[in-house]
Chains A and B, each alone.
Chain A
Amino acid sequence: MSLRKFITNKTTAALAVLLTVFASTSALAQEAAAGAAAATKVDMGEVYKSVIFYVLIFLAICLFIAIIGKAIRVYELSREAQGKPVGINWNRVHASLFALFLVLGLYGVYWEYTVHGSMLLPDAASEHGKKIDQMFNITLIITTIVFIATHILLFGFAYIYKYSAKRKAYYYPHNNTIEKIWTIVPALVLTVLVLMGFLTWRSIFFKVEDPNNKPLQIEITSEQFKWSIRYPGADGIVGTKNYKLTTATNTLGIDFKDINSRDDEMADELVLPVNKAVKLILTSKDVIHSFYMPHFRVQLNTVPGMRTFFEFTPTKTTAEMQQETNDPNFKYLFYCAKICGSGHYNMQKVVRVVSDAEYKTWLAEQKTYLNDDLRKQFNLPVAPAPVKAEADSTATDSAAVKTNQMALNK
């Protein structure tokens, strides 16, 4: 197998022709480009956008790879022709590549953990969130150890035990003791994780309500592609809704026959007093959305026809968080995390955690959902009763509710 024979090989000849053509065209192109550049500055923007440009680049890479492939083939054939052992020991190559991959990979993981790892959410701003963070860290430590150890073994074995004609593998079909160990150890570790997770989960979703310190109720309603927030008003209770009452003016379908609804207030942002338990009532008008408030480690889907609840206590005000993150523009947000249609990617509202005093001032400025149009619709007295007389009007209203209810039932 001489070099001459290789050159007569048809494929190689074709490749050579291709290479020449490519080289000359690219040279021509360069000349043309240089000429053009001398005359006027060419806008390459369009070129970078054209598909042909990339197809050509790709073909050039393929050609390059084909040439390398042929070169390796020539090398191997010439070794063979000279009667020397096979040119490239691929087992050694792959073993080394795995070792290299292990080293670079571990560095890559370290880089990811430190660089991208520092771009994550700040520490939890809620009580239960701290527990979640703690458990996250424990799980992260355990999994990172296992991840690194198993990968060192995997690629290490690949490197050490690469093929050698002189050696025979060790016939080792089973060892029940080892099997038992690596069944029981993961089982024990998992038991610990399960127990912690289970207890935390229970503490989040099964709260004993303290009658003297009831959580603040806030209702959130999702629809394509916005959120509506409803504060309970002075009575502390969010009134009932009925989707059948939905109109252009009563977009949430609030039932104003329920006196609890009448003082319900609307808000454009979710304002929460710090260190006060909040019970979110989550509902949806149309499709499933997900109420996601990552800074507080809160997420729950909003499901049409169902009310879901999430109770949590914010522990850091927005101002504190701005200091902690060194970002004066920091804002808490909640947004949608369940695919819900074309506007899914932009369905957000600002959350402000403030001191109790600030909260009260803010709350006083909010308007009620009930307005004059709705009063007419629900046969309620149009002129808003003065604040002082609210207690009286409640009584009469509840009577009105009853009659209206009956009217509705007919």
Chain B
Amino acid sequence: MVTTPVVGWTEQIARARLHVVTGKGGTGKSTVAGALALALATGGKRVLLVEVEGRQGIAALFDTQPLPYSEEKVASAPGGGEVRALHVDVEAALLEYLSMFYNLGFAGRTLRKMGAIEFATTLAPGLRDVLLTGKIKECVTRTDDTGRHVYDAVVVDAPPTGRIVKFLDVTKAMADLAKVGPIKGQSDGVVRLLHSGDTAVHLVTLLEEMPVRETIEAVEELDGADLRPGAILLNRVRPPRLPARSVTAAADGRVDASRVRAGLQAAGLALSEGVLDGLVEETVEHAIRVQAEQRAREQLAEIDLPAVELPEQVDGIDVGTLYELAEVLVDQGVR
């Protein structure tokens, strides 16, 4: 049986201060980003978790009120650390940005109500991403009076794999925008940060065909844009129950029902034919899934990135399970 070499968190990734978390929709990207923020905060660090897509997923995850556009503490980590969260609102970011250069006075809120700001960001779609990455960079590089970084790490719950490179490729987005002026100067710094060793782009995937294919495509795209893939985060990994030697036959529909029946009888279970048939059918479906997962692992092994695994949480995700997932990450070397 081939398994993805779980080499865990490498030195190189541990040096990054900006952790961008992407993944196909439905893979649990936001949950993993939350668990990663908690894991990185473990042992006394200060971590900022940033949300950029306006869905208030962090608030739902940590069971808090919807986040305002400010950095709020959402959790304490084991060992004295803390996670703060920021919900970046593009319109607020644009107004904040403009107010650095122009005094808009009271007009800001009215402009917003009229939809003028949304319109400005649709005029130039790249503007949205430039504003968001600009805000992220400001958080990563912010220092206190003593010159120490305010945050030890920043984790971004980023757009899905299909849009991640567009999101991070600020140089390209700037092609849409003015060639001079304040935003140009600022974006040069963003580009430097995103393409440096300070940034790692992690990819969340399930062991299923489509998410794995999108992950592989995203890694190629990231490489092509000179961005740095970090780790593969295998989410919702379920335990294979069948002995490895039985998987292939079972996936073909060959389950030795008489052997199963004998085993069940040995355990004191005398089951009807109908129940036995049902168990066999469930076993075949399980085996087909295990085989598909195996193929997914083989494909992932080819892109040769460090990987960490998170187990399936059958009862769903609440704040408690988030801490458990963070612990699983720490156990695999996340720091």
Do the two chains bind?
no
